[in-house]
């Protein structure tokens, strides 16, 4: 069952790249006491994700933060090294926190996994955006297959 607005974000952890190398980041560290926009893409460097989804959040990061958002985080079922390289290629800097859900465990915990084996990509996360306040989802926007509307940075900004 997919997470819904009003429900607590499930416990879990991600990998993120630091100056000291890969480190774990728990959901408590990510969400506790903060307003977070967490958006998911099916894969780093994939067409819509690379050309529109991540760049939109980078471009609108200041406006999103001005609405009271503490952290903007991007997750994908990719390893931490790929997420780090993608962040560098997109020039995210400190605007978007790039988080690896390498085994898809968090996508599954959210009930938002995607079987992309037909494309040779295995199990991934669906394209979605969640706004969470102190660990509780206040908005959950999941794209229909092949769509890119409700999880786009512009759509999220308009709902804050």
% of the chain with per-residue pLDDT over 90: 84
Question: Residue 93: which pLDDT band, with cuts at 50, 70 and 90?
Answer: very high
pLDDT at 141 over 90: yes
Q: Which residues, in sequence order, are CB contacts of 132 under 8 Å at separation 6+?
A: 9, 31, 35, 36, 38, 138
Nearest one of 91, 104, 102, 86 to 50, comparing CA atoms: 86
Contacts 24+ apart (CB under 8 A), 46-49: 48/127, 48/148, 49/76, 49/127
Which domains, and CATH codes, for the chain?
13-159 (3.40.30.10)
Of 3, 8, 21, nearest to 107 by C-alpha is 3
Task: Judge whether residue 122 has pLDDT over 70.
Answer: no
State mean pLDDT over 143-155. 93
Over residues 93-120, mean pLDDT: 91
Does the reported pTM lie above 0.85?
A: yes
Distance CA 117, CA 148 (A): 20
Q: What is the pLDDT of residues 21-77, one digit of tens each?
A: 999 999 999 999 999 999 999 989 887 878 889 999 999 999 999 999 999 999 999
Which DSSP symbol is given to 140? E
* Nearest alpha carbon to residue 62 among 86, 109, 94, 29: 94
Whether 99 has a pLDDT exceeding 90, the answer reads yes
Query: Which are the catalytic amino acids?
Result: 49
Chain mean pLDDT for the chain: 94
48 or 135, higher pLDDT: 135
pLDDT of residue 23: 98
Tokens 């040779």 — which residue? 120
Q: Specify whether the CB–CB gap between 71 and 37 falls below 8 A.
A: yes
Strands 136-142 and 128-133: antiparallel
Q: How many of the other CB atoms lie within 10 Å of CB of 6?
A: 9
């Amino acid at each position: 069952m997919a997470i819904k607005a009003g429900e607590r974000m499930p416990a879990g952890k991600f990998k993120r790249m630091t100056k000291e190398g890969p480190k774990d980041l728990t959901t408590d560290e990510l969400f506790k006491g903060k307003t977070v926009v967490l958006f998911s893409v099916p894969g780093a460097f994939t067409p819509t994700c690379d050309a529109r989804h991540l760049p939109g959040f980078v471009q609108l990061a200041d406006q999103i933060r001005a609405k009271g958002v503490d952290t903007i985080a991007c997750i994908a079922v990719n390893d931490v090294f790929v997420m780090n390289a993608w962040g560098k290629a997109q020039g995210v800097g400190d605007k978007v926190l790039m988080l690896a859900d390498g085994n898809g465990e968090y996508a599954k915990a959210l009930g938002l996994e995607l079987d992309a084996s037909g494309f040779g990509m295995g199990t991934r996360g669906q394209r979605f955006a969640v706004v969470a306040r102190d660990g509780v989802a206040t908005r959950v926007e999941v794209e229909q297959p092949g769509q890119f509307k409700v999880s786009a940075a512009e759509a999220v900004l308009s709902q804050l």
